[in-house]
Amino acid sequence: MDMFYFIVQQSMVFMIPLLIVALGGMFSERSGIVNIALEGKMVMGAFTGVLFLNIFQNPENVSDQGILLLALLVAMITGMLISLFHAFASINLKANQIISGIAINMFAPAFAIYIAIFYLDGQFVPFINQFRIASVPILGDIPILGPLLFQRTYITTYIGFLILAVSTIVLYKTKFGLRLRACGEYPQAADSVGISVAKIRYAGVLISGALAGMGGLIWIVPISSRFGGSVAGYGFLALAVLIFGAWKPMRILFASFFFGIMQTIASSFTAIPFLLNLGIPAAFYSMAPYVATLLLLAFTSKNTQAPKAAGQPYDKGMR
């Protein structure tokens, strides 16, 4: 049973950032803007968030959750700022959405490392990593559910689930969500009833920036005590989760959970006696999440549809 708890706790570490960033990507793509820049936005968010911790973290009280929340806010704002470039190019100038995404992906790590080397004399920005919660008061003592969800956890896990709940409601139960989806499917129709396609798409891209920036910081906090300008391809994996999740919140949850479990098996199979005894080389465990995703997609994607207007600049004349 301990092994089971361990796997679930570990999976959260991989799953939550993927979930949040993929949900971010969802808001952008459902509004009609392809977002290949998730990786770059994560890097920017992680960078400024960690830099904030590096400067303002109080060595006397390192496990202060408040400072982490503030750092998350910083990361969100950074993600939104960098998103503005993506939004401006793809909405106002109607430029190719992939190109500006590539530019952001290239800019972000270069910028983070450049600044770190110049001002901190090293590629890495260190921070004190003491944010793990051993056990949530009261809730952590519940049998089964306690160890599963409320022990050895991070506050970011709950933020992730909160974002999932809010995203689902916003997308399906609000006027804004309906308009967002309309702009991604058939912007001409949305425009014809007086909705500003540009405004809605700006909102979509900015939300995606905020969530991706935040996701970047959430990715780095549990796994390291320094940030070196890379999120190890998690932005691209989030994109994969988004597509695997068919651009729908609950399926994204499932996709990120699946990927989280697979990553846990890949990274800690040596701690799982059953898998260790199989004698399969480590490289194949590392490959497993990607192979499994590929196979699953091959069998489930036949009928999934991307948002129809994603990737196409909105042209009023096309009505």
Partner 1 sequence: MKRDSILSLISTLIVIIVGLLIGLIVLLASDSNQAFPAFWTMISFGLRNMRNVGDVLLGATPIILTGLSVTFAFKTGLFNIGAAGQFAFGGYTAIYIGVQFLFLPPPLRIICSILGAALAGAVWGAIPGLLKAYRNVHEVITSIMTNYIGMYLLSYTIQNTIFDINRTTTTRMPDDSNLPSLGLNYIFREPLGEGYRASAVNLGIFIAIFLAILVYIILDKTKFGYELKACGFNKDAAKYAGINQNRNIVFSMMICGAIAGIGGALIYMNGTGLSMTALPLLAMEGFTGISVAFLGLTNPIGVIFSGIFVSYLFLGGARMQPFGFSLELVNIVVAVIIYFCAFVLVVKTNIGKIFPKSREGE
Give the footprint of partner 1 on this chain (CB under 8 A). 36, 85, 89, 93-96, 98-100, 102-104, 106-107, 109-111, 113-114, 117-118, 233, 236-237, 239-240, 243-244, 281, 283-284, 286-287, 290-291, 293-294, 297-299, 301-304, 306
Extended beta strands in 104-150, E state: 125-126, 133-135
Identify the burial level of 14 via C-beta atoms within 10 angstroms of its C-beta, where 0-12 means exposed, 13-18 middle and 19 or more buried. buried
Name residues whose C-beta falls within 8 Å of residue 226's C-beta, 6 or more positions apart in sequence: 50, 124, 125, 126, 127
CB of 123 to partner 1, least distance (A): 8
Burial label, 39 (beta-carbon count in 10 A; 0-12, 13-18, 19+):
buried
With respect to partner 1, which residue has the nearer C-beta, 152 or 226? 226
Residue number, 102 or 136, with CB nearest to partner 1? 102
| Least distance in angstroms from the C-beta of 245 to partner 1 | 11
Task: Report d(CA 228, CA 238) in Å as an integer.
Answer: 20
- CA-to-CA separations, 177 to 17, 96, 174, 267, in angstroms, rounded: 23, 25, 5, 37
Indicate the pairing of strand 226-227 with strand 133-135.
unpaired
| Residue written as token pair 């490289």 | 283
Q: Which of 42, 66, 72 is nearest to 208 (CA)?
A: 42
Q: 49 vs 109, which CB is nearer to partner 1?
A: 109
**Smaller CB distance to partner 1: residue 224 or 230?**
230
Work out how close the CB of 190 gets to partner 1 at its nearest, in angstroms, rounded to a whole number: 23
For residue 86, the minimal CB distance to partner 1 (Å) is: 9
In the complex, least distance from residue 12 CB atom to partner 1, rounded to whole angstroms = 21
Nearest residue (CB) to partner 1, 103 versus 275: 103
Residue with Cβ nearer partner 1 (5 or 290): 290
> At closest approach, how far in Å is the CB of 70 from partner 1?
26
